[in-house]
Amino acid sequence: MSQSYDRGLVEDFGRWREFSAGMWAWIFHKFTGWVLIGYLFTHIAVLSTATVGTTAYTNTISGLESLLVVRFLEVGLLAVAVFHILNGLRLLFVDLGVGLEAQDKSFYASLVLTGAIVVASVPTFLAGAI
Amino acid sequence: MSTQVTEQEQAEAEEESTHQRRRLAEKAERQEVRDRMRERAETDLERADTVFDLKVFRYDPDIPEKEDPRFDTFPVPFTKGMTVLDALMYARDHYDSSLTFRHSCRQAVCGSDALFVNGTQHLGCKTQVVDLGDSEGVPGQIRVEPLPHQEVVKDLVVDMEHFYDQMDAVEPYFDADELPSGELEEQRQTRENREKIKMSARCIWCGACMSSCNIAAGDNEYLGPAAINKAYKFAMDDREGENRKQERLEIIEQEHGVWRCQTQFSCTEVCPKDIPLTEHIQELKREAVKNNLKFW
Ligand code: SF4
Ligand code: FES
């Protein structure tokens, strides 16, 4: 063997169309996890205005809530959180060795459930904004 | 003296030329065979009801034209029951005898022809061409590549060394603490225990699982699904005894052992022997936790 060819990692994400359910669940779980960590920081930033005073906090909140884009971001946050929770439950069962044959179905179920909850929440989140 | 030399030279030259002639004749014969096979392929193609394109990854560091990896496409006449391996052999025999791939048993036993077919790991000999198509039947094109995440040696042949190293790392052999005391010296296994490890014993070392795992791709030291499954087979074997099981658990719960698995199920998805790999890895994780959590 004089030489060999390393096809590298390039193919990995270029082949996303061929990914299976378990792989998608993993990607979504990672992604939503990072989004939640990111949110945590903005959450802390907003909450810390309360250390300045109650009015400062109220002003920040109402200022943010009056922006339409913030309302939409909140819907997105809910979607991310709900998926992360549901898939987390799915992973808990996987860790316990329960229902591993149905791991793809439970992934689809968590997607559908997330969708349903998010759609149901839209009126609450957008009320008063539009 | 001088005549002798010339005689010798002459003899050598003669020998050389006969040698040369024989070589040329052989070459011509080979060319003839090749032409004949190609002709036969043409008639095959004309007669066939269905023809599909076999698109194959080509690479050969020793040949200038193949130094840069590329794909070659061969039209293959479909015959009933044709597997991907059959199609590859057809292409090799009729179009390009240098097309290189591993195969041996042709019945999903030896594990030598795990390939990347249409973007998924498959055993060439176990994969029916029709199954790759949609409801219409035979697909128009089949793309065959070497297993990803392994170095390509030539065409579809990958370097399996690392995979074998990981397999060896879990000490994949039966190694009992003590011999049974009864007069019979056989190492009896209960039926239940046999059932438990039955699936894990089916591994044919094809490497499909390891190639599909993108944790293994990112962490070269990760034991990988096949090796962990192998460890499972022996760790769960009751006949080996407690001490040995302890040693086995230490191997699998090391930093690059079971805890690397992030339950993507890619390995379970592709294993041609339908071994529930993720399930076995998860069970070993629980064993490892139980082993370390002692509340007394
Ligand atoms: S576990 Fe399955 S996919 Fe992995 S090497 Fe063994 S037979 Fe092949
Ligand atoms: S040729 Fe032996 S497994 Fe396919």
Instruction: Please tell me if residue B52 touches chain A, with a CB cutoff of 8 Å.
Output: no
Least confident of A48-57, B86-95, B279-288: A48-57
Q: Per-residue pLDDT averaged across A20-35, rounded?
A: 92
From B85-89, B187-191, B194-198, the region with the lowest mean pLDDT: B187-191
Stretch A23-35: mean pLDDT: 94
ipTM: 0.79
Chain A with chain B: Cβ pairs closer than 8 A:
74
C-beta B280 within 6 A of ligand 1: no
* Average pLDDT taken over every residue of chain B: 90
Distance from CA of A110 to the nearest CA of B (A): 16
pLDDT tens track for B28-55: 998 998 899 999 999 999 999 999 999 9
**Interface contact B283-A97, CB threshold 8 A:** yes
CB B166 within 8 A of CB B224: yes
Show residues of chain A in contact with B264, CB under 8 Å: 22-23, 25-26
- What is the nearest CA distance from A92 to chain B, expressed in angstroms? 11
Q: What is the average per-residue pLDDT within B48-76?
A: 91
pLDDT confidence of residue B64: 87
Of A5, A22, A95, the CB nearest to B269: A22
Predicted local distance difference test score (pLDDT) of residue A18: 73
Are A94 and A100 in contact by the 8 Å Cβ rule? The answer is yes
Mean of per-residue pLDDT scores for chain A: 86
pLDDT tens digits, residue range A74-122? 999 999 999 999 999 999 999 998 888 888 899 999 999 999 999 998 8
Nearest to B153 among A1, A25, A104 (CB): A1
Band of pLDDT at residue B136, cut at 50, 70 and 90: confident
Considering only A112-116, B4-8, B139-143, which range has the smallest mean pLDDT? B4-8
- pLDDT value of residue B8: 76
**Mean pLDDT, range B93-110, rounded to an integer:** 95
Q: State the pLDDT at residue A1.
A: 43
In the sheet that B70-77 helps form, which strands lie side by side, from edge to edge?
B70-77, B51-58, B141-145, B114-117, B120-123
Confidence class of residue B111 from pLDDT cuts 50, 70 and 90? Answer: very high
Any A CB within 8 A of B68 CB: no
pLDDT at A3: 67
Interchain pair A26, B263: CB under 8 A:
yes
SS3 assignment for B240-289: HCHHHHHHHHHHHCCCCCHHHCCCCCHHHHHCCCCCCHHHHHHHHHHHHH
Kindly tell me if the per-residue pLDDT of B2 is higher than 80.
Answer: no
pLDDT of B137 higher than 90: no
Q: Name the closest residue on chain A to residue B60, using Cα atoms.
A: A4
Q: Which of the two residues, A30 and B241, has the higher pLDDT score?
A: A30
Structure tokens at B216: 């293994």
B125 CB near ligand 2 (under 6 Å) = yes
**CA–CA dist A19, B9 (Å, integer):** 69
